[in-house]
Structure 1
Amino acid sequence: MLLGTTIACPVQASNSPYLLGDWNGERTHLSDQGIDFNFGYTSELAHNFNGGTRHLTRYTDQWNFGATFDLDKLWGWKGSRFQIMVSERNGRNLTADAHLPVYQQVQEVYGRGQTWHLTIFAFNQRFFGDKLEWSIGRLPVGSDFDSFSCDFQNLTFCGSPPGNIAGDYWINWPTSQWATWLKWNTTEQTYIKLGAYQLNPKYIDNDWARTNGWKLNFPGGTTGALIPLEFGWTPSVNGLPGSYKVGGWYNNAGGSDLYYDINRQPIAITGEAPLQDSSRYGGYLGFQQQISGIAGGNGVTVFANATMTDAQTSPTDRQFAIGAEYKGPFNRDNDMIGFAVGATHGSSRLAAYQRLYNQLNPNNPVPVQSGYEYAAELFYSWSPIPSIQLRPNLQYVAHPGGTSQNGHVFVLGLKSIIAF
């Protein structure tokens, strides 16, 4: 399909960042008028050579259809814009089908219901010479706070890290929530950002998403709000760009305790309903810094992420990742090499429950997830033309699920990205 489409429009596709080119100049004309389009496709193929119960190959993908409207150019509303993005997911999940006992999926693009999603539907306004920025509408929190790229295929290194360890309420792409945030640019290189996101169990219900995920509605059953706060610094170090963030969040909807029941007795003993903690919380640090090459272009960029959340209610309570990307290897401007290693830790509260359960049930023990899951990924991104990236990758996971009782996982993957 890729080769056929490329041959069909060789002149436009060979030089354009879009596979379908500039639409005979119409795309540029619309952009000048204030309308920009974002059409894309991402697929992820994965095969497990080791780990799980079966050796399988699975394929999953995502389509994105979006547009941004510059309301200043269109209607003279200075500093205003409106954005909409609709996403659609298909395919199967190797992690589930092969019973890989991992914390983090080996195909990050799978999940939140393989269906249509209203990912962004938001109005954005800038004030005071762009010092203050405000956004309101349907927004994915992971795109607004502790945002991180999705160049890798393993979820440990893709997207906003809080969503990887507190994903039952910190909801990353493609699911959105009704939300609003304010960003104050304190200097040209520093900012502070505060948000509020609706918490509703329906947003993470796959059955609900299949019929309602794409609708512009306000579902009943709101339980509270997620309040994230972020401080950022975007310096230029030796003329090369960097991004440094520190932040935290508070969830006033609370959650189910992993060890105690409603009477503050161990669940493993009583089997009663879990205690409902009144709040949940967490924090993060993240940085990306280009260390060589041309600013914003070819060269090496390094990154590190550290995220922690409360162990009382989250089965995974912390995650760390470091890595590097080299753009422009072998004098190929559009190619890239990436390597990362990371660790995801199981909740000590959950491990305490598992130990007690095993004492009470010696004939039917469960793995005690008291340690770290270690993941590593290496990829090479080959770009035959600017709009297409073919990204074979190798993934290795040691102590999957945070326990040495599970066998190591080795996966060969292929991530493909097309910008239309």
Structure 2
Amino acid sequence: MLLLASISGQAVAADQTNGNESDDASYSLFDNSPNSRATLTGDWGGVRTYLRNKGIEFGASWTNETAGNVTGGDRHTAAQTNQITAGLDVNAEKLLHWKGASFNFTFTWRSGRNLITDAGLYTLQQPQEVWGRGQTTRLTQLWYNQNLGSGFSFKVGRLPTGADFDNVPCLTMVNYFCGATTGNMDGSRWLNWPVSVWGGLVKYNNPRWYFQAGAYEQNDRNLDNYLFIGYLHGATGVLLPFETGLRVHLGAHGYPGAYRIGGWINTAPAADVLLASNGQPAVMAGMSMLERSGSHGGYLWFQQQLTGTFTETPGEDAIVTQGLTAYVTLTMVDKETGPVSSQVTASLRYLGLPGRKHDAVTLAFGTNHVNSRLATLDWYQAGKKGPRRDSEFAIETDYTAQVTKWLYLEPNIQFWVDPGGYTQKSMITVLGLKTGVTF
């Protein structure tokens, strides 16, 4: 099934009025079901099943996000953007008798337009989460994973950081509720899908809890907008994330929940958002900013099923098959260097409607708080006129219609209050449609 799995994006320090320059839409490409109709192209006359039994799995998907603002913004218009993803999953234990080993190769290609720019929306994050990081072809994953036994494993290669850390499900079309929240807020230092970096992690996992820690290269060249394998020079530091999670069962029905807490330290130099190199507020645009020796942040993520049914495999988060699930995130970013200092989101998703057991309805609310130090800088540079920037609020409701096992349609409506944290700007209403196909 086309279940949105996500990893996400970026907020640009240089120009917060142009929103999030990244996004995230990583989809489950690989369906191990023997039902060949789970993909548009079927079983290829039995070839797919044969290769799967040998440990080789091909997958591809297409995502389109079309959106138009009917209120708010500088002008009313519409824009559409696309992502094509193709990947190869190799179970080396089946193919090479290499116990506990696996490989992955994933490429992405993006094209389209950004509604924030075309309509002049000024929002801090994207109404179309699949837009961003350059409309180009990228190597998004190239990694090797080794299960060492007794719950221990490691992964190394070219990785999006949010593939394993702060990995929040992609519930909607708005970037607030899709992918790693840290990358959505501080994407100049936390690079997520579709961007990969050299890195790796070690993990201990058992049925009740897990802990993992990683190290990822900080290198601005990873944002180059063309296809490349990876650079061997140009790094300015290391991103060091860590995360632990607890799997619980609550109530008389034992409904499953996943509760995670994590943080990160980045050793790369970062520019202060308020102070110039002389230690005083940068009251004039273009001044050289004070350089900090690093940055840090942290996050919480809760997922709790409230009603319905589920399935689970030991050592993995349970999968909701029907019912209501609640999601909550809280993310904090370094206030000296982060343009957005905190984000809170809350979502409710009901899966399995009468007569439509694979359809879902989602209601999501989120807010980003503009760093008060950056708001002060903007106020200074505006001649101390007008209100200072504060918080942006986003609300989205959508209906996910699973038309076939390989096609879904997700119409949605979005409301943006105080876009960009500007209290003087009108509320934005966006009508959107997200379409996904698994080939």
Deviation string, structure 1 residues 287-342 (Cα, Å, up to 9, x no partner) = 11222111131111110000000121111111000011111112312211111001
Matched, 1:30 2:51: yes
Whichever residue aligns with residue 236 of structure 1, its letter is H
Question: Which residues of 2 match residues 296-315 of structure 1 at below 5 A?
Answer: 296=319, 297-315=321-339
User: Match for 1:223 among 219, 232, 236?
Assistant: 236
- Say yes or no: does 1:381 pair with 2:381: no
Quick check: 1:135–1:182 contact (8 Å CA) kept in 2?
yes
The aligned length equals: 396
Q: 1:271 to 1:46 in 2, by over 3 A?
A: closer
* Alignment correspondent of 2:192: 172
What are the Cα deviations for residues 23-80 of structure 1, in whole angstroms up to 9, with x where unaligned? 2222122111101122111110000001211111101010000011011111111000
Residue in structure 2 matched with residue 158 of structure 1 by the alignment: 178
The 3-state SS of whatever aligns with 1:382 is strand
- Given the superposition, is the C-alpha separation of residues 121 and 81 from structure 1 closer, same or farther in structure 2, using an over 3 Å criterion? same
1:331 aligns to 2:352 (yes or no)? no
Q: Which residue of 1 aligns with 2:67?
A: 46
Out of 128, 133, 143, the position equivalent to 1:122 is: 143
Q: 1:270 to 1:320 in 2, by over 3 A?
A: closer
Q: 1:65 to 1:269 in 2, by over 3 A?
A: closer
Kindly state the Cα deviation for residue 271 of structure 1 after the two structures are TM-superposed.
5.8
CA contact (8 A) 1:325 1:338 kept: yes
Q: Please say if residues 51 and 408 of structure 1, whose CA atoms lie closer than 8 Å, have aligned partners that are also in contact.
A: yes
- CA shift for structure 1 position 406: 1.4
Please report how far the alpha carbon of residue 366 of structure 1 lies from its aligned counterpart in structure 2 after TM superposition.
7.2
The code of the aligned residue for 2:198 comes to: W
- Give TM-score, length-normalised by structure 2: 0.87
Partners in 1 of 2:56 and 2:381 — Cα distance?
58
User: Are the counterparts in 1 of residues 218 and 235 from structure 2 also a CA contact under 8 Å?
Assistant: yes
Q: Is the 8 A contact 2:222 2:230 kept in 1?
A: no
Partner of 1:234: 247
Match of 2:425 in 1: 406
Contact 1:15 1:386 in 2 (8 A): no
Q: Is the 8 A contact 2:108 2:139 kept in 1?
A: yes
3-state SS, counterpart of residue 156 of structure 1: helix
Contact 1:14/1:386 (8 A) holds in 2: no
Kept in 1, the 8 Å contact 2:400–2:408? The answer is: yes
| Residue identity matched to 2:73 | G
CA contact (8 A) 2:84 2:110 kept: yes
Tell me the distance in 1 between the aligned counterparts of 2:38 and 2:180.
25
User: Structure 1 residue 342 and structure 2 residue 366: aligned?
Assistant: yes
Query: Is 2:107 aligned against 1:93?
Result: no
TM-score calculated relative to the size of structure 1: 0.91
Q: Which runs of 5+ in 1 are unaligned?
A: 1-11
Q: CA deviation at 1:152?
A: 0.5
CA distance in 2, matches of 1:26, 1:271: 59
Deviates more, 1:116-125 or 1:293-302: 293-302
1:62 aligns to 2:83 (yes or no) = yes
Q: Given that residues 202 and 219 in structure 1 are in contact (C-alpha distance below 8 angstroms), is that contact kept between their aligned partners in structure 2?
A: no
Q: Give the Å deviation of 1:354.
A: 2.1
Q: Is the 8 A contact 1:64 1:88 kept in 2?
A: yes
* Alpha-carbon separation, structure 1, partners of 2:242 and 2:197: 17
Aligned ranges for residues 275-294 of structure 1 at < 5 Å?
275-294=290-309
Q: Which has the higher helix share?
A: 1
Distance 1:15 1:379, change over 3 A: farther
Q: Evaluate the alpha carbon distance shift between residue 374 and residue 75 of structure 1 in structure 2; reply closer, same or farther with a 3 A threshold.
A: same
* 1:197 corresponds to which of 216, 226, 241: 216
2:276 to 261, 264, 267: 261
DSSP-derived class of the 1:21 partner: coil
- 2:83 touches 2:109 (CA, 8 Å); kept in 1? yes
Shift >6 Å, 4+ stretches: 12-15
Deviation, structure 1 residue 384? 1.8
Equivalent position amino acid for 1:59 in 2: Q
Offset at residue 16 of structure 1 (A): 2.4
Q: Structure 2: how far apart are the matches of 1:355 and 1:88? A: 39
| Distance in 2 (alpha carbons) for counterparts of 1:32 and 1:286 | 36
DSSP 3-state at the match of 1:25: helix
Aligned residues: CA RMSD: 1.8
Give the letter for the 1:266 counterpart: P
- Counterpart of 1:178, as a letter, is W
Distance 1:270 1:62, change over 3 A: closer
What is residue 7 of structure 1 aligned with on the other side?
none
> Is the 2:333–2:342 Cα contact (8 Å) retained in structure 1?
yes
- 8 A Cα contact 1:354 1:367, kept in partner: no
> Deviations 1:111-150 (Å, cap 9, x if unpaired)?
0000001110000001124x11100000000111010122
Query: Taking structure 1 as reference, are residues 240 and 22 closer, same or farther at Cα in structure 2, changes over 3 Å only?
Result: farther
Q: Distance in 1 between matches of 2:92 and 2:287?
A: 55
C-alpha separation in 2, matches of 1:224 and 1:172: 17
Shift of 1:178: 0.4
Matched, 1:142 2:162: yes
Unaligned runs of 5+ in 2: 1-32, 311-318
